[in-house]
Amino acid sequence: MVLWQQDVVIYGTIYVKAKTQEEATALMKKSMGVGIEVATQDNTWLPISDKHFDDPDLPDVSLSPCMTVSHLTDGEPQNTEEE
């Protein structure tokens, strides 16, 4: 059996604690393009948090653990064993 891979687009929700909408927008934009290693949860800038909205331990910037796989990116699946 061969292992195949293809990039997918995933939609999620970002939560930010901020005093103003402008500050929130700036923090959200700073988070774009940040790589996330879900398996290790070692995401110091953009953690995935299941804390409730009113939990005082909710990080200042975090992603919801609920996400949606939207679609495959353009192209064909790639064989992981070929370089």
Does residue 37 carry a pLDDT above 80?
no
Q: Quick one: average pLDDT of 15-33?
A: 93
Counting the structural domains of the chain, the total is: 1
What is the span of the domain harbouring residue 23?
Answer: 8-73
13-17, 21-25, 33-37, 46-50: which has the minimum mean pLDDT? 33-37
Q: Is 15 a domain residue?
A: yes
Q: Give 48's pLDDT tier (boundaries 50, 70, 90).
A: confident
User: 0.85 exceeded by the pTM?
Assistant: no
Q: Is 40 a domain residue?
A: yes
Q: Is 61 exposed, middle or buried (0-12, 13-18, 19+ CB in 10 A)?
A: buried
Q: Is 35 a domain residue?
A: yes
Q: Is 48 a domain residue?
A: yes
Is 7 in contact with 73 (CB distance < 8 Å)? Answer: yes
Q: Is 13 a domain residue?
A: yes
Q: Quick one: average pLDDT of 48-58?
A: 89
